[in-house]
Amino acid sequence: MAVVYATLIVKGKKTIDQVPSLIRKQVEEILADLEVTV
């Protein structure tokens, strides 16, 4: 699910604030690996 949110953030459909707190850390790590800043 974290990958789905990361993809949506990259595409501009969601923001990091819209990610549930339970998986926010995972999403941030995926985005960091992809060199995407939020």
Does the pTM exceed 0.85?
yes
Burial class (CB in 10 A: 0-12, 13-18, 19+), 9: buried
Q: What is the pLDDT of residues 1-38, one digit of tens each?
A: 999 999 999 999 999 999 999 999 999 999 999 999 88
pLDDT at 38: 84
pLDDT at 34: 96
Listed in sequence order, the residues at least 6 apart from 9 whose beta carbon sits closer than 8 Å to its beta carbon are: 15, 16, 19, 27, 31, 36, 38
User: 11, 12, 19: which is closest to 29 by C-alpha?
Assistant: 19
